[in-house]
Amino acid sequence: MQFSSALLENAVNEFARLPGIGKKTALRLVLHLLKQDAKEVNQFSEIMARMRNEIKFCQRCFNVSDGDICSICANSMRKQEIICVVESIRDVIAIESTQQYNGTYHILGGIISPLDGVGPDQLQIESLINRIRKEKTTEVIFALNATIQGDTTIYYIQKKLQSLPVRVTTIARGIAFGGELEYADEMTLARSLQNRLPVESYVNR
């Protein structure tokens, strides 16, 4: 691409560095910003810088937070003795959107994946164990992606929890709501057969 303005070119290049945004999309976004009021673009720019410079991570659950403790951990209406273990902030947002969970979270910041060079030490596993021990947690719910890495992580942490008086569960894996058996993969179908539910408990939900 040939630009007649270095300011324009720099802005396009900055946008194009974001994941999933190519040069053409970047140009479209920059030309859109160029059409906006200067006030709005300055606000955009300021909010991005503030987000990166001022955001904190909750010292208890490692969720993003505006203060030292996130709003979920600080909320006394939530069951502080239940911890849902997730990989990333994105999973917290997904679970919160269901409005079905009323406990707290613990964000591992990744998942055990030797191929990617991620071991248990790089994740918030030590802090999770300490937290469970200190807070006398009653239940730990694993909500990790249903992959080999997810299962490995669950297995690793669960072994460390064996000596503690805490109930350890994982979210159900099975045929998705609205899914058809015919198109389900064998692994999912096999697991959902193994973990079959009594019909009463299913119907009553």
Interface positions with a copy of itself (CB under 8 A): 1-8, 10-11, 14, 18-21, 25, 27-34, 36, 38, 41-55, 58, 63-66, 70-72, 88-90, 92-93, 96-97, 99
CA–CA distance, 60 with 137 (Å, rounded to integer): 13
In the complex with a copy of itself, which residue's Cβ is closer, 107 or 154?
107
Distances from the Cα of 64 to the Cαs of 13, 29, 89, 110, 113, in angstroms?
28, 27, 7, 15, 23
Question: In the complex, what is the shortest distance from the CB of residue 115 to a copy of itself, in angstroms, rounded to a whole number?
Answer: 20
In the complex with a copy of itself, which residue's Cβ is closer, 10 or 169?
10
In the complex with a copy of itself, which residue's Cβ is closer, 4 or 204?
4
In the complex with a copy of itself, which residue's Cβ is closer, 113 or 188?
113
Hey, what are 190's tokens?
A: 């096999």
Question: In the complex, what is the shortest distance from the CB of residue 101 to a copy of itself, in angstroms, rounded to a whole number?
Answer: 11
Question: In the complex, what is the shortest distance from the CB of residue 68 to a copy of itself, in angstroms, rounded to a whole number?
Answer: 12
Q: Is 20 left (phi over 0), alpha (psi -120 to 50) or beta?
A: left
Hey, what are 99's tokens?
A: 């409005």
3-state secondary structure 76-95: CCCEEEEEEEECCHHHHHHH
